[in-house]
Structure 1
Amino acid sequence: MRFVRFGEVGAEKPGVLDADGVLRDLSGVMNDLSGDVLGRLADLPLDGLPVVGGDPRLGVPVAGVGKVICIGLNYSDHAAEAGMAEPDEPIVFMKATSALNGPDDPIILPRGSEKTDWEVELGVVIGTRAQYVSEAEALDHVAGYTIVNDVSERAFQIERGGQWTKGKSCDTFCPVGPWLVTSDAVADPQDLDLALDLNGVPAQRGNTRSMIFTVTQIISYLSQMMTLHPGDIIATGTPPGVGMGQDPQVFLKPGDEMELRIDGLGAQRQTVLPPV
């Protein structure tokens, strides 16, 4: 199943796409796609839901996100592109939840931006509380999968000291969606093609089988250090083709357009706007 949240910013309603791709309103069944409901999506009564007309804006497909956890250098080919050794353990950093953005909402460059970059990533949405789980149990805690653009200001991230988080957390720097695709609809999260085009030209191409640490390994690893709660999002790393890895390097500028795709998870499209 493909779940969405639709409507204006701050007033989104829960919805679901039926077998014909028609958007139907879930607000009569639930308050929102958040909390414990994420662990029982398969049990929701979906018959007879009202059709949503028009072409509404889509928001982040899960509400009440407590934390966005990211895994760095998690593709062997991206690590090679960056000229860095493959890590022995997952590299973990956070994106502020204030960076969350709808899948087709614009990216607004921060003031002082010099090197804003793109990263298409498989997003994992937690459905049930996970603490000290084994790899064998890990996928039982997944509500579903989505697309994340881990937009990154590289000068903030790398050249200004401290943690990567400061280059990852600017407003609008975490587009998520368009859909939350339930885990039963994703046969193998380790065999999904990812793509990002910049201004219609291929930039990133990859497959999740190139992950150094798999989804099951990541969930189990993180759960040893922090409890994962329903609605938490894990961005699992990016394949090669980021702007920082090109020669010469290429970074986002106002007017640029990105399109991101992952097999079975839909597409995102963003236009880059100047600082406000």
Structure 2
Amino acid sequence: MRIVSFECEGANHIGIKVGDEVIDINLVAKDLPQDLLSLLQSNLDIQQELNALIEYASQSAKRLSKDLRFTPLIQRPPKIICIGRNYVAHAVEGGVEPPTYPEIFMRVSESLIGHNEPIIRPKCSDKLDYEGEIAAVIGKKARHVKEQDGLDYIAGYALFNDATIRDYQRKSSQWTIGKNFDGTGAFGPEFVTADELPAGMHGVQLQTRLNGELMQNASTADFIFPMAKLIEILSECMTLLPGDIIITGTPAGVGYVRKPPVFMKPGDVVEVEAKGLGILRNTIKDE
């Protein structure tokens, strides 16, 4: 099952992607939750409900074209939990040993943007870097979960670009400020349910391209902390809730370590791609 979030007549809608078309849930099933967070938080059997909806809508003319104004898949997640240096090669390129415990920081919802929306380079810095990542979306409440059960709590996955203001990231021993500028967290284009993807997204190739040039290219088999382990570690500390987002780390190849450094500038096009999750595409513009 593939779900997109988009704007229609000034309101946020969600739809089911079937081929190149999107079925607007608002048009064919007004009794269902009308945003992804509410859908995840409901007690509905989402898979069953939406499969029935597809069957009904396949006989209906109430469809939209693929030319949509995308919004973040979840506009205000309960939590956005980010994992730093979760690929060995990325830790090494940054000059540190691979961590023995995840480096965890948080994002705020105001930083989120959708697919095809511009990532914003702020007035105060020209050091805007890309970080292609995979996002795991929590589907049910999780606390003190063991690793062997961790994947049971993930509803699905999406792509994320954890665009970072590098000089602000270094202003503090904590990374938070460099990761939370408005309009820097691209999230989309599709939420794909876990049943359509490899377990834990293991062995999936993740790529980032800048203006068509391949910048990051790595397999999630190189995760230091795989998806299920992250659920165990995080749920030891906090209660994970439906709609929480875990941004699982970026591979080697980021711009600031290159010689000379490569930072994104207005007019650039950045794409993040992983098999099964599509392509998350964003342009860059100045604040």
Q: Which TM class, normalised by the smaller chain length?
A: over 0.9
Aligned to 1:269: 281
Measured in 2, the distance between the counterparts of 1:103 and 1:265 equals: 12
- More deviation, 8-17/75-84: 8-17
Give the whole-Å Cα distance in 2 for the aligned partners of 1:127 and 1:83: 36
Post-superposition CA distance 1:99-145 (Å, at most 9, x none): 01102100111121131100000100011111111111111111100
Query: CA 1:114/1:59 → structure 2, altered by over 3 Å: closer, same or farther?
Result: same
How many angstroms does 1:229 deviate by? 0.8
CA pair 199-177 structure 1, distance change in 2 beyond 3 A:
same
Q: Secondary structure in 1 aligned to 2:158?
A: strand
Does 2:219 align with 1:207? yes
Residues 1:174 and 2:173 are matched in the alignment: no
Contact 1:254 1:273 (C-alpha < 8 Å) held by counterparts? yes
Contact persistence 2:205–2:275 (CA under 8 A):
yes
Matched, 1:40 2:45: yes
Paired residues, what number? 273
Matched, 1:245 2:257: yes
Among candidates 170, 176, 179, match of residue 165 of structure 1: 176
User: 1:38–1:230: 8 Å Cα contact kept in structure 2?
Assistant: no
State how far apart, in whole Å, the 1-side matches of 2:165 and 2:191 are. 26
SS of structure 1 residue aligned to 2:160: strand
Counterpart Cα distance in 2 of 1:182 and 1:38: 16
Counterparts of 1:38 and 1:208, CA distance in 2: 32
- AA aligned opposite 1:70: C
Deviation at 1:10, TM superposition (A): 6.3
TM-score (norm 2): 0.91
Task: Report the secondary structure of 1:79's partner residue.
Answer: helix
Alpha-carbon distance change, 39 to 168 in structure 1, aligned in 2, over 3 angstroms:
farther
CA deviation map 1:192-240 (0-9, x unaligned): 1111111111111111001100000011100111111111110000111
Of 254-263 and 36-45, more deviation after overlay is shown by 36-45
Amino acid at match of 2:127: K
Does the 8 A contact of 1:9 with 1:59 survive in 2?
Answer: no
Unpaired segments ≥5 residues, structure 2:
none
Question: Does structure 1 residue 2 correspond to structure 2 residue 14?
Answer: no
Deviations 1:48-102 (Å, cap 9, x if unpaired)?
2331136111222234411110000100111121121000101100111110110
CA distance 1:211–1:9, change in 2 (3 Å): farther
Could you list the runs of 5+ residues in structure 1 that have no partner in the other structure?
Answer: none
Aligned-pair identity (%): 38
Compared CA separation, residues 63 and 274, structure 1 to 2 (3 A): closer
Contact 2:22-2:66 within 8 A present in 1 as well: no
Q: Report whether the alignment pairs 1:142 with 2:164.
A: no
Change (3 A) 1:54 1:103: closer
Residue 31 of structure 1 and its aligned partner are, at CA, apart by 2.3
Distance 2:202 2:152 in 1: 16
1:11 aligns with 2:11: yes
Q: What SS class does the counterpart of residue 7 from structure 1 fall into?
A: strand
Structure having the higher strand fraction is 2
8 Å contact from structure 1 (residues 4, 62) kept in 2: no
Q: The residue matched to 2:256 in structure 1 has which SS? A: helix
Whether the 8 Å CA contact 2:126–2:265 is kept in 1: the answer is: no
Distance 1:196 1:121, change over 3 A: same
Instruction: For residue 9 of structure 1, report the CA deviation from its aligned partner.
Output: 9.5
Match of 2:144 among 132, 140, 162: 132
1:72–1:91 CA contact under 8 A, matched in 2: yes
Q: Partner amino acid for 2:148? A: A
Contact 1:38 1:231 in 2 (8 A): no
**Paired residues of 2:76 and 2:109 also in contact (CA < 8 A):** no
- Partner residue, 2:131: 119
